[in-house]
Amino acid sequence: MEETAITRIRAFLKRRAFAVGGLAVIIPLLVIIFLQYRALTTLNQTLPAYRKQLMRQYLMSVVEDFSRLYSKNSEQALAVPASSIDLPKNGVIEDDDERDVSQNAVTRVADHFKQQDFKGAKRYFVVVATDNNGVEGSEVFFYDPKSQTMIRDSKAPELKAVNVACASYMIYVREGTSVVPSATPVDRDLRNRLIVKPVINEWKKIVAVAGLVVDQEFFLDTVLPAAIRKSLPEFLPTEDQDPIISLYVRGMFYLAYDGKGNLLKLSESEQKVEPEAYQPLTFVFSNSSLTIRLKNLTVEQWARRNFTINLSLWVLMTLFLIAAITLMLRTASREMKLTQMKADFVSNVSHELRTPLASIRVLAELLNLGRINQPDRVREYGAYIESEGRRLTQVINNILDFSKIESGRKLFQFESCDFKEVVNGTLEAFTVHLKQNGFTLSYEAPQNSLPKVVLDPDAIALALTNLLDNAIKYSGDEKEIAVRISQSIGFVTVSVADRGVGIAAEEHEKIFDKFYRVSTGLVHDVKGSGLGLSLVKHIVLAHHGKITVQSKPGEGSVFTMHLPAEDQKSEQQADRAGSEGGLSYKLTG
């Protein structure tokens, strides 16, 4: 019981190998596409937020980058040793001739600034507190790189900003307060941004203030673009993103850079486009902020585009995969069928050869031994031997022609013929065979003469014989065969009709394939090679004609060969037949 179920399943799998294999591939692929679609949808929803986060981190990284640079360099450049300032009374200079004393006090500071090469600083300065007979004040000395000395510069544009920045420190200097000596940005005057740092003595008490004026041009032209360039690949590595990084200095100006740090000229409306991320600046250039957005798309649009592209690629790839696999499966299934058909062919052909040979041998032996005396029986046996011999020839001719067509060696000898004559000749040769098998043949042909046909008489005879042979083989008990010649526009036709087992509609095309045999119903019992109809088809096609079949199971079949009448045939073919003596035809499919 179980075994039959397994055998049935096996047989089903074998029969439906292509469909089963196809489903086994297509279902997982569809599942994968569905999962991929879900994953991509989720990604599409989360990607914008993630991108914005990345953009924010990128801006933070840019800000951190240059802040670190300014912080580190200004700490170092402004680390003026207290010893380089001559400090009477905790650094507060009290003297009548206070100006000269204060000048002297900071002389050695120049030695310190001389060694600094921080390009972000436009000017270095130091501020000391003064007390001139109770009048508290401060004195600003700028480092002059030309003379490498500290000078007073009453016209310096930064002077006011420096005084304002250091005023509070001066109170501490006067009081000798301990302070943390760290570099601090002062940006009250946005045109003159400063970094200042208290100068402390060995008791950590502030004695003066050292400072630098930030070189804004250098920051905007060099430092910021470098920082923009540096971090970009780490946070926005995708090439198709075209970021615009903008610096807003509130109430003053707006600058925009591309991802490479090049300055961009943006129209007013472009400047107003909402950014995706924002980061205030802290250490230097405080009071301003960096923003980022993509040039042509919002992050949401970008994510949607990514989603569409990815999904389309997936679908396309899957379709290609399905197509390739289908093709492979089809080829494999065809090969399997062909192998099966070839195996059947060998066994069928050997049977087809062996059966008539056995009959011939037995009958010939009987005749040879002289056991048959009645002349009627002798004639009958002779006719039988002849008929079986003809059958053998037919089988062998089929195989030989088939192999010639397969290898492209088949040459057709075309000549202009009387179609009726060719058909009559074939029928005559076949009559004995028909009679022997108890068939009645009805033959119908038009009285008037038919147009001539350019054909290979042997090939057409072989084709017709095959149709007659099939009519006999597949007639069962209905032993009536009708052959009919007729004429239609441009064609002459010959049809062979039987009242036999018939053929299901879905088999009508397949029966013309090589080795193909209908594997259901009565046909099981009939031996054959599966080559007959494929030969007929190829012979007819080589004549630029066609073969048609009308048949229903149980109602018999009508096979009709349509051959073009001579005037319809291309002259080219006739020429070729004449000059080359034949037409080579290759069997395909």
Contact positions vs ligand ADP (CB under 6 A): 466, 470-471, 473-474, 498, 500-503, 511, 516-518, 523, 528-534, 557
Alpha-carbon gap, residue 416 to 421, rounded angstroms: 12
Cβ-based neighbour number of residue 106 at 10 Å: 26
Q: Cβ(208)–Cβ(81) under 8 Å?
A: no
Asked whether the beta carbons of 398 and 529 are under 8 A apart, the reply is: yes
Instruction: Output the 3-class SS for 257-289.
Output: EECCCCEECCCHHHHCCCCCEEEECCCCCCCEE
Maximum C-alpha span of the chain: 170
Helix orientation angle between 457-473 and 419-436, rounded to the nearest 10 degrees? 30
Which residue number places its CB atom closest to ligand ADP? 528
Phi, psi of 371 (to 5 degrees): -75, -20
Q: Which amino acid is at 169?
A: Y
Residue 325 and residue 408: Cα distance in Å, rounded?
A: 31
Q: Closest approach of Cβ 549 to ligand ADP, in Å?
A: 8
8-state DSSP, 93:
B
CA 251 to chain centre: 52
Residue 217 — φ and ψ, nearest 5°?
-60, -45
| Contact by Cβ (8 Å): 558, 383 | no
Contact present, 275 and 291 (Cβ < 8 Å):
yes
Token output for 223: 């430092």
Minimum distance, C-beta of residue 524 to ligand ADP, in the bound complex (Å) = 9
Beta strands (DSSP E) in 239-374 are: 243-249, 253-258, 263-264, 277-280, 288-294
As a whole number of angstroms, the distance between CA 266 and CA 99 comes to 51
In this structure, the dihedral spanned by the alpha carbons of residues 186, 190, 191 and 193, taken in order and rounded to 10 degrees, is 20
Looking at the DSSP bridge assignments, the partners of residue 441 are 481
State the Cα–Cα distance between residues 89 and 583, nearest whole angstrom: 124
Q: 86-100: b or e for each residue (b if 16 or more CB lie within 10 Å)? A: bbeebbbbebeebee
